[in-house]
Amino acid sequence: MRNPFRRVFPRLVGPRMDRLLREPPTNSSFPQCLANLLIDISGSMLGQSIDQVNRGAAEFVEQLSHDPVTRDTLQVQLVTFGDTVKVRPFVPITRLTPPTFVASGFTPLAEAILKAIKRTEKHSEFLGTAAEVDVLKPHYFLFSDGIPTSEPRLCRKAAAAIKRREDAKQAAFYGFGVNDAAVKALQPLFRRQVFLLGDQDFVQFFRIVSASVLRVSSSSVSDDVDLSPLIHNMLQLPQPKRPDPKRLPGW
């Protein structure tokens, strides 16, 4: 079927733009909230853990697709890392159907971060220029139950990319580890404190992301929303002290 949006944006041609224009914002009068979920589906997630991920993802979509705020403002990109890094591009929450995740492989976490950033910035540029839609600061939420298996140079590249965007207030990145070892392994990548998820409660991760994007979706383009207090309150766990960056292990 011919794309009805092509006549609105006549200079946008080619199959890639056709795919983008099939998923316009549900209501372009509201600033769009771009949320990235970076999900560890490596082999160590087999069994109950991946079952919790699937249940949490379904609950996340069910809640936010019916919320009066997020159903008009939230766009979600799913990025999984295990055997490979797979990016499921941004779609409005009302059109998101989460897949059934299957655990396997290693933990190419740095590659997942870099791909998520690249795709997000392209989509944000498209919304802001071609579609003339206001875009809130993108947010990234990542959890992992282990140590990244990415090459050291890619870990350094991902950490530098996060630092640049955090320092410029262009994006916000929140990391979650399921135990102290995972938190310690993730912290060098992030500017903010990495949170201890605890008890491998992956459903709780999705509930935290739900509450977080609700907060962000209710903000304005000029707001700089800090989600850390909300996350602390929801976790209700003793969190590790923020480490001294000079003492963090290098790659």
Please name each of the domains of the chain with its CATH number: 30-237 (3.40.50.410)
Q: Map tokens 């404190």 to a residue.
A: 193
> Is the pLDDT assigned to residue 6 strictly greater than 50?
no
What pLDDT, on the 0 to 100 scale, is given for residue 132? 83
Better-predicted residue by pLDDT, 23 or 124: 124
**In contact, 9 and 130? CB cutoff 8 Å:** yes
Provide the pLDDT confidence category of residue 119 given band limits of 50, 70 and 90: very high
117 Cβ partners below 8 Å, 6+ apart?
Answer: 140, 161, 165, 171
What is the mean predicted confidence (pLDDT) over 27-47?
A: 90
Q: Give the model confidence (pLDDT) of 184-200 as tens digits.
A: 999 999 999 999 997 66
What pLDDT, on the 0 to 100 scale, is given for residue 22? 43
Q: Give the model confidence (pLDDT) of 75-90 as tens digits.
A: 999 999 999 999 999 9
Cα separation, 14 vs 6, in Å, equals: 10
What pLDDT, on the 0 to 100 scale, is given for residue 25? 56
Amino acid at 39: I
- Bridge-based pairing of strands 74-81 and 85-92 is antiparallel
What pLDDT, on the 0 to 100 scale, is given for residue 17? 42
**In contact, 190 and 162? CB cutoff 8 Å:** yes
> Is the pLDDT assigned to residue 168 strictly greater than 60?
yes
Q: Outline where DSSP puts E strands in the chain.
A: 33-40, 74-81, 85-92, 139-144, 172-177, 195-196
What pLDDT, on the 0 to 100 scale, is given for residue 249? 54
Within the chain, how many helices (H) and strands (E) appear? Answer: 8, 6
Return the DSSP state at 47: T
Provide the pLDDT confidence category of residue 103 given band limits of 50, 70 and 90: very high
Amino acid at 49: S
Tokens for 234? 């929801």
> Is the pLDDT assigned to residue 16 strictly greater than 80?
no
Q: Give the model confidence (pLDDT) of 199-234 as tens digits.
A: 667 899 999 999 999 999 999 998 999 999 999 999
Please name which of 42, 15, 67, 34 lies closest in space to residue 202, comparing C-alpha atoms: 42
What pLDDT, on the 0 to 100 scale, is given for residue 140? 98
Q: What is the pTM of this model?
A: 0.86
Query: In what order do the strands lie in the sheet containing 33-40?
Result: 85-92, 74-81, 33-40, 139-144, 172-177, 195-196
Cα separation, 68 vs 23, in Å, equals: 19
What pLDDT, on the 0 to 100 scale, is given for residue 246? 52
Return the DSSP state at 32: B
Q: Map tokens 């990415």 to a residue.
A: 150
**In contact, 114 and 161? CB cutoff 8 Å:** yes
